[in-house]
Structure 1
C-alpha cells in the first residue's frame, strides 16, 4: 500500500522535484516517500504544506530528482493557480532543500483557468 493510500487523500499535483546536493546546502537526506514539507508557491512568504509520494523510487538522495505526487494540506489555497510547468521551492524550515516543477495538475479545482 502506497503512502497516499494510507493517508486516504488523493494527490493534487504531480511534480518533478530536484533535491539540492549537500554541497548546494541541501539536507543530509535521503528523502523518503511520505515526506511532508513546506513549499513556496508564490504567496508572498506564506508556505503551503504537502505530503510527497514518490512514483518511481521509495527514496532519493540529495542531488537526485524524483517524480512525486503531492497532496496539499489545504489545497483550496492553490485554487485556480497551478499549471504544467509551474515552478516552486521545497523547504525544510527556513532552508530551501529542492526545486519543483508541476508536470500534471490532478485536482482540477487547482488548475489555472
Structure 2
C-alpha cells in the first residue's frame, strides 16, 4: 500500500474506503476486473492495487475457502494485531563491524542476543525480527522489532530514544535505540 501513489490516505481503513469507492462494493474480482481503465485521471495506482486485491481474494478462496473481501481484511488485520502484541518495541540497530569487535558471521532475523540497558546490570534475551531484511552482516544497520524475556523486570523503565547494547556473552556486538514502545507495560511514566 505504501508504494502506491495514493491520494493521501495514511492507514489501511482509508485505503480500503478509497478502493471501494473506486471499484464499488461489494469488492469482488469481477467488479475490479470490469472497471474500465482510464489512466488520464491519475488513478493508475488504483488499478495496480485492484490487481493485487484480485490475487489476494483468489488465493484466499483457494486456500481458506474465503472470498468475502471484508472478512479477509478482518482476518489479516486480526492476525497482525496479535503479532504486534508480541512485540515490545521497535528499534534501530547497528551491528558492529568485525574490526570493532562485532560478529564474524551474519545474523539472521529472529536472532536472540542479550540486551543491556545502561541504567541496569540486568541483561535480557531480546529476539530481533528484522524489518525488510532477513540477514544482517557485521557493520550493517537494520530496523527491527524486539521482544524481550524480562518484561516484568523492565516494567515502567523504558522510553523511546533510549539506547542499549546487544551482546553475545560479555562481548558487545552492536548498539540500538528504541524508536517506538509498543508494550505500554514497559513505558517509563512521564513524571519520572
Q: TM-score range by the shorter chain?
A: 0.7 to 0.9
In 1, Cα distance between the equivalents of 2:188 and 2:180? Answer: 12
Question: Within the alignment, does 1:65 sit opposite 2:127 as a pair?
Answer: no
Higher helix share: 2
Segments ≥4 residues shifted beyond 2 Å: 42-45
Match for residue 21 of structure 1? 97
Aligned 8 A contact 1:48 1:74 in 2? yes
Aligned length: 107
Higher strand share: 1
TM-score by length of 2: 0.53
- RMSD across aligned positions (CA): 1.6
State which of 63, 74, 95 in structure 1 corresponds to 2:150.
74
**Aligned with 2:152: secondary structure?**
helix
Could you say which structure has the larger radius of gyration? Answer: 2
Match for residue 187 of structure 2? 111
Unmatched tracts of structure 1, length 5 or more: none
Shift of 1:89: 0.3
Higher relative contact order (CA 8 A, sep 6+): 1
1:40-73 per-residue CA deviation (whole Å, 9 max, x = no partner) reads 1135422111111001100110000011101111
Aligned 8 A contact 1:41 1:48 in 2? no
TM-score by length of 1: 0.88
In 1, Cα distance between the equivalents of 2:186 and 2:120? Answer: 18
Shift of 1:76: 1.1
**Aligned with 2:145: secondary structure?**
strand
**Aligned with 2:102: secondary structure?**
coil
